[in-house]
Every structure is written in structure tokens, then in C-alpha cells.
């Protein structure tokens, strides 16, 4: 947990986000700058900087993020059409917020780099 981390603030309901799902392990909220009709970020409630800083005990929560992504895609009505999951890691990966997150993006045919 980092006091200055904007995603930790969102997990504690003190950030700028529309939360669409939360349980004891993860929080999902709409990206403030959506690149597609559905653009949701799914984060572990417990602060992990990035995939590069993952520990073996984090494997379960990261797996759970993917299960939540599948369920949210169904809720958003984008399962049949398909969608994209993205995790940027480190400066070269384009990570701008240092709290591990998976982008769930869909609702249109994906292009590169994102959305």
C-alpha cells in the first residue's frame, strides 16, 4: 500500500473512478480516458508495482484478475465479439501508473497500439 498511489486511493474509494466491481482481492473501474466503448482497469487491492515486481504469492490474485475480466466482459456484452487484455510493464512497456493493472478493452474491433 502506497499513500501516493492513485490506484490504491481508488481501491479505498478515495480516487477519481467509477468502480464497476470490487471483492476482497481486486477492484475494477472505468478508465478515465477510454480508448474504446468498454475500457475497464482491473487491479489487485494490495499494491504490487508491476508484473516485474510480482512475487510467487501474487500468482493467485493475478489469475483472479483474469477471471474477473471474463465476467465483466460478459456483463458489458462484449464476450461474443471478443476483447483485449493489456498489461503494460515498466517504462518501455508504456506503464504510466505504478500499480499493477490489466486493461479490459472492447466494444469495437481492436487496432494497435491500444483500443
Verify whether residue 101 is a known catalytic residue: yes
Contact window for Zn ion (CB under 5 A) among 5-13, 21-29, 63-71, 81-89: 5-13
When asked if residue 8 is in the footprint of Zn ion (CB under 5 A), the reply is yes
C-alpha cell at 44: 489487485
When asked if residue 29 is in the footprint of Zn ion (CB under 5 A), the reply is no
Cα distances (Å, whole numbers) of residue 15 to 2, 18, 81: 13, 9, 31
Cα distances (Å, whole numbers) of residue 14 to 4, 31, 34, 90: 12, 15, 20, 25
CA distance 43 to 57: 16
Residues 35-54 that bind Zn ion (CB under 5 A): 47
Query: Among 64, 92, 99, 101, which one carries the catalytic annotation?
Result: 101
Cβ distance to Zn ion smaller for residue 47 or 64: 47
When asked if residue 85 is in the footprint of Zn ion (CB under 5 A), the reply is no
Chain residue whose CB lies nearest Zn ion:
5
Instruction: Give the shortest CB-79-to-ligand 5GP separation in angstroms.
Output: 22
From Zn ion, ligand 5GP, none, interface partner of 107 (C-beta below 5 to 8 A by class): none
**Which residue in 64, 44, 69 sits closest to 54, CA to CA?**
44
Could you please report the per-residue DSSP string of 58-76?
Answer: GHHHHHHHHHHHHHHHHHH
Catalytic residues: 101
Amino acid at each position: 500500500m502506497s499513500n501516493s498511489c492513485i490506484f490504491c486511493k481508488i481501491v479505498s474509494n478515495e480516487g477519481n473512478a467509477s468502480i464497476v466491481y470490487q471483492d476482497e482481492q481486486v477492484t475494477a473501474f472505468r478508465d478515465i480516458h477510454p480508448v474504446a466503448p468498454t475500457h475497464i482497469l482491473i487491479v489487485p487491492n494490495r499494491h504490487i508495482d508491476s508484473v516485474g515486481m510480482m512475487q510467487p504469492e501474487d500468482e493467485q490474485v493475478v489469475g483472479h484478475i483474469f477471471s474477473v475480466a471474463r465476467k465483466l466482459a460478459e456483463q458489458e456484452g462484449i464476450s461474443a465479439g471478443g476483447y483485449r487484455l493489456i498489461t503494460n510493464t515498466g517504462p518501455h512497456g508504456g506503464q504510466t501508473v505504478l500499480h499493477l493493472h490489466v486493461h479490459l478493452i472492447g466494444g469495437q474491433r481492436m487496432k494497435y497500439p491500444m483500443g
